[in-house]
Structure 1
């Protein structure tokens, strides 16, 4: 007897980034050496004072269920963080904790989307936005944001994309995969368009907020406080504090939406780990020197990757302003022939060539909604970055 699967699951595409990581692990398990530049997490260890807070919580018996929306201690820490870093004021019932930021994006769409509602997703985009919207009967409206515009959504493109069915605009800054960061002027211009469309809510994914290299990343709420009642901020401790495995994200938004998300969490995961929540509270409330140090480390890696890849034949590379990814164009490689006679017809072909020929794993731009590009992470160790970049350059030089 076969258990039939739901149509929405059959249509759902696996996560490209998770799939790439699995492929790397499979190759490594066979004994092959693969340099992994697909990694979407810091290779750094969680700072000691955060681990210590978790240990103390566990040893002190803080190992039970919490309320679905998160412990008061963590939500108070989030409120203080938003006030300290973003000059934003939120109440306890306007903040919620999830099992990672991804869960909160999922629950927000589950709580708000009806069949046919539209979600504007600027491309390039993080791979899960369109799929999570589709799961909940939403219709992703993909808006190309070309490199000539800094990979950023323009007011004109936003105005054109909005329709009477638009429910959400998803805005990710600093951006995965491009590293683009929206300036105050960029956000102000988008806010002016949004003021003319009061039926559109805005989800701002700020998970890479602290990983910026040319100034501070701003939240839309800082620039346009009048839009607060239709703004949902998504953030978490994964990237800035090297806590991906702790699985803690948080969101801040209108109380009615937060209450709806709370109901959904109560019927799904029940709550995030109590021990992880104690660790996250320590991360947000404690000494922030670890964040500055991590940013310094990633800036060095960014600059080194640029130094090694700049001038690579067929590759046009620019320095990202934030996050820890490069998103170079490989238009100059399309049509080239590999040493074994295969013609590269897409960025996917290029990524597979680099995997097979250079033993370097990268992600194709098609997975992020814009080709022909590659996403390369500098979240890993400097030695891997250097070895990977040299192998990529050599492989590109071998094309004819």
Structure 2
């Protein structure tokens, strides 16, 4: 059982973004049928000239339905409330989450937009990157504990400066939550620490990690888990080289590694590692479809009519004409023209960051192509140069 108070557990979650379903009928008035919360985040989406744009994103979290109220539509009602709240909020057009049970959220319009790898490496693994060695050598590092007062703000500034496609960045309170050290989260492990990378007296990245002490046959066999890594490639290289050479550690597990992360190349390929686990990372939901699609930059021209199914947010349902021009801008307007593609809104969420192949979804029979070539045309306009990175948990 948690030993921390409710407020300690909800640190960083704004009071006005904590919601509960109210009980009806002959039930315990002290029991909420369901709860959910929203972290105000920014999400890095494709931007102009192959760059990035950070846009507001509603980070859905703490979603739960009381066992006494399951199968009564509580989750459906809460998510509908969430979509209506986001839709009414100026400037925020997307919602996102990490799915504790992936089968649930696709039914409510969330699409899997990125993957996360967990890469295990042995202590002393060589990371080879000749073209980055000089830049990595110019990076100095300094150890901090996450409980030091300035650490949350420094981590946030680094994340804002070096956010990659698909990354989310929270407000200051979120980083205070990340740095919180509750007794039940330690479980015999050391407190989390942060190794800041510095160049010319300024922070240029960090690696956040926690070590678990273990000895076997009088030899150290500890594990170091990296749960946060930020910075330009040369900075990340320098930080990873440092944590791969810590004393009393035999295994380093690097979490939240994106599918195109250079770590696997530096290590010599998948078989040079101690193992790779693949998980779903960020699930994206287009709450205001036309605004969300026009907010991102497009990679190629297209003129496609979509017939979108969206029962949970009916203002999105129906036919939309998507026109993207050579400048990377797009218009999305209602139309009565015949559809070129029929698809559920969750597949647009999956492709929104440019990493999930929409043409592959069509080949899998998940997108119904009414005009031959329409799926390829839309996918070429949506796709990004690199796949989205894994997003930090929230």
Provide TM-score, normalisation by structure 1: 0.29
Provide TM-score, normalisation by structure 2: 0.29
Greater strand share, structure number: 2
